[in-house]
Structure 1
């Protein structure tokens, strides 16, 4: 019960507002396009800077010339203009040269580069929702992997070092966490933003280009602390920076006056964090399981047995190695790429940055026959496959593969067996876990995870609750195949304790639930 409660708390932890349909910008391919786009912007800015520099060089050359003449006339103006050549030269410069100088100053250079950047920004269609998606991914990593904002800000993800975040990045995350009532995260992100600021490095650009004011950051940080009751902590933060701005000085004064009331700061009462998801794979591996070669389910396997790793006996979970080939993976990806789409619904923390596509494979194809060899079950009626592509921070939260009774068809029934092919290795993260069984499986390209969702009485096994953990770095491709119970009537005939619905009963249930 404790496990189920913990899982429910985590599954409800992401705000619905951050879990709407994810945009293609959060896919690896989409992000690659954004990298290329930023490279294009940099190139255009370099050209724009070169045009400005060329104009400045011309202005400086002109300025040096007129200054040299001015130096002569400045010593004795009357004597200078009394000479006819000097007078003529002065009049001509004022009449002609300075007119050209004015035109040079008025000339707006590099406009074509500004227009190119403007067009690029319009075509990129980057929206607030894209930013919300990216923020939701960071929050998911924090929750599933217990990552601290300070570590993320320093680029440390699960023991591996990556690029650090800037003050502006940390500030955006802090503001988002405040909006969604992630108080502890928000305060720590504000703290990280302050710690990462370096005025010598960031000051001028942040102020003049990004309209950033350091006092505003401290005001938001300390105001958040005060709002949550941490007055003494806020006062300590302002001690060394109150002289930066009059507003900070007044804020420190107000906090000091309120702090005279002898009310201690509250403390976050945080229970110890446990990896209830299994995403960190901290569970001990059972010593009573084994590996073997499967050669009994078909005559072909006597010649070419399959390598099988038994992960669980009750319920039955096995991992087959080298059962989908590179040529098949390439074929599946090429077919599915144009049709990959996000689920057409609001995602209330069930999944994030997950794209799906359906393909149909003939039941006599090598892959379908291989599944028949692996499971010993009939594949003739189940010809559909589902491709899942998990993008940046992509995950699918806790669920089982069972179909609700009212959604089952009389011809197929519930999902009896699940087969998940891993089509790539994941750089970091992306594990698949059964938390109730203390079982975590890491993606291995070419392998297939097989489990049975129904027991011998054809009843759902709730211990098979599972989660696809967030991808930390890279992306994850899986190919799903479900074999339903009804077509297995003769391969697995035992149905004691469960009655099949007629087609009419199935239709009635669907009508009642509309």
Structure 2
């Protein structure tokens, strides 16, 4: 559920590779020993088979033959039946039992790919080739990957995507590269893939498309040939294949950066909030005046970012899956801060507000295609406390750049903000009457490529009741 958490999977596979390498070496050593023995007995056999009677007539040959058959072949039989590399097998089994990704992890990863595909209008065939967003990456999906995604798309009624993944699975299969391993290790047969693919096409009404595929592959398996005959008979009924129309995902156009770029209202150096800013002003960009949204650049340093990440790594936890479905593939941790810490002092420089009652932070790390759906930062009335009240101000720090995706979007304002390491976005959640501002709804878009770290801080209304004046209207 987080990129930080998934780093352990790389180490785990490294361990498995190491153990499998040692296992194959143990098997090879056993084969070498057997071949060495075989070479010796074959050399004796070459002599004995020419004239067996003359061979055994020599007492030393006869004695050696009796001894070999009585002792050596008994020992080699025991050696052949002896299992080697059991400690390496046990290490792999232990690793799988303790750290193997669960069914839910695989489901999250699959849903992540499908979410990325939907949000950014990506084509499955491009995803399989490693074309994500605006760039081609040196990575692609295997036949097994595409087959799993095709089945997942069918469950989610994404028929068109399922067909595309099935087609890509077939295209990516290479008999010379994959054939033996797929059959012997994964119990995979190409004929089964074609059967599943074409049967789904038939069920969905694409008889002609299924027949065209089967005509070229029916000689692979008798079942495919029988299926071709059945489809051929059904295709005689003059019913054309259906046509799909897929509406574009316009509600996620902000994530794609399709909105017309806005000119910022102003860029300036803030030097009047606190006395310290007279000698070290902050770089500010105003993105919206009503509601007020601004970016403060270079307001958190690399050393602070590293410290936050190191503290949070063992504390990261995921949200409750069913109670908060707006969060997907992300983990978070609470970072306890001191009232007078440099970062809290910097927030006072940014906002001009006292952070004595709101000194703590929440750090987020997004996982594979992780996102936070449309939401407000406000607190439900029943969950507010008399000491704090609602969240008045939101401050979101970007702790790293993101290679592809991961934008912060305000759809009512047609505003897309791309992560910039070291910057902070600041906005007001309440209007002048201290009511929730409906225009401030926002979305953290799915991450395509890269790891996204953010740090959030909320300043509540009640501690600032007498220090933050209302605007004149």
TM-score over 0.5 for the pair = yes
Number of the residue aligned with 2:190:
214
TM-score by length of 2: 0.93
Q: Secondary structure at the match of 1:209?
A: helix
Number of the residue aligned with 1:115:
90
Number of the residue aligned with 1:200:
176
- Post-superposition CA distance 1:325-346 (Å, at most 9, x none): 2333233333333322112342
Number of the residue aligned with 2:130:
155
Number of the residue aligned with 1:61:
36
In the TM superposition, residue 465 of structure 1 has moved relative to its aligned partner by 1.5
Number of the residue aligned with 1:501:
none
Number of the residue aligned with 1:36:
11
1:259-408 superposed matches below 5 A: 259-274=235-250, 276-287=252-263, 289-346=265-322, 349-408=325-384
Kindly indicate whether the alpha-carbon contact (under 8 Å) linking 1:277 and 1:467 is maintained by their aligned counterparts in 2.
no
Kindly indicate whether the alpha-carbon contact (under 8 Å) linking 1:391 and 1:474 is maintained by their aligned counterparts in 2.
no
Ranges in structure 1 where 5+ consecutive residues have no aligned partner:
1-25, 498-514
Query: Aligned partners of 2:322, 2:249: CA distance in 1, in Å?
Result: 29
Stretch of structure 1 that moved more, 151-160 or 379-388:
379-388
Distance 1:288 1:362, change over 3 A: closer
Kindly indicate whether the alpha-carbon contact (under 8 Å) linking 2:26 and 2:84 is maintained by their aligned counterparts in 1.
yes
Query: Aligned partners of 2:55, 2:71: CA distance in 1, in Å?
Result: 20
Distance 1:273 1:334, change over 3 A: closer
Choose which of 423, 442, 455 in structure 2 pairs with 1:447: 423
Q: Secondary structure at the match of 2:76?
A: helix
Distance 1:216 1:348, change over 3 A: farther
Kindly indicate whether the alpha-carbon contact (under 8 Å) linking 2:121 and 2:248 is maintained by their aligned counterparts in 1.
no
Choose which of 93, 113, 135 in structure 1 pairs with 2:110: 135
- Post-superposition CA distance 1:3-60 (Å, at most 9, x none): xxxxxxxxxxxxxxxxxxxxxxx43333222212211211221222122112222222
Q: Secondary structure at the match of 1:123?
A: helix
In the TM superposition, residue 474 of structure 1 has moved relative to its aligned partner by 2.7
Query: Aligned partners of 1:55, 1:360: CA distance in 2, in Å?
Result: 58
Choose which of 477, 480, 486 in structure 1 pairs with 2:462: 486
Kindly indicate whether the alpha-carbon contact (under 8 Å) linking 1:340 and 1:357 is maintained by their aligned counterparts in 2.
yes
Choose which of 178, 185, 189 in structure 1 pairs with 2:161: 185
Stretch of structure 1 that moved more, 64-73 or 442-451:
64-73
Choose which of 228, 238, 247 in structure 1 pairs with 2:214: 238
Query: Aligned partners of 1:409, 1:496: CA distance in 2, in Å?
Result: 27
Distance 1:206 1:462, change over 3 A: same
Query: Aligned partners of 2:362, 2:422: CA distance in 1, in Å?
Result: 16
Kindly indicate whether the alpha-carbon contact (under 8 Å) linking 1:341 and 1:357 is maintained by their aligned counterparts in 2.
yes
Kindly indicate whether the alpha-carbon contact (under 8 Å) linking 1:275 and 1:282 is maintained by their aligned counterparts in 2.
no
Query: Aligned partners of 1:113, 1:410: CA distance in 2, in Å?
Result: 60
In the TM superposition, residue 181 of structure 1 has moved relative to its aligned partner by 2.5
Distance 1:374 1:122, change over 3 A: same
Query: Aligned partners of 1:332, 1:74: CA distance in 2, in Å?
Result: 78
Q: CA RMSD in A?
A: 2.2
Kindly indicate whether the alpha-carbon contact (under 8 Å) linking 2:399 and 2:421 is maintained by their aligned counterparts in 1.
yes
In the TM superposition, residue 495 of structure 1 has moved relative to its aligned partner by 8.6
Q: Secondary structure at the match of 2:382?
A: helix
Distance 1:97 1:336, change over 3 A: closer
Choose which of 247, 271, 275 in structure 1 pairs with 2:223: 247
- Post-superposition CA distance 1:124-178 (Å, at most 9, x none): 2432112112112211211222222111111221113131111111111112222
Query: Aligned partners of 2:38, 2:303: CA distance in 1, in Å?
Result: 68
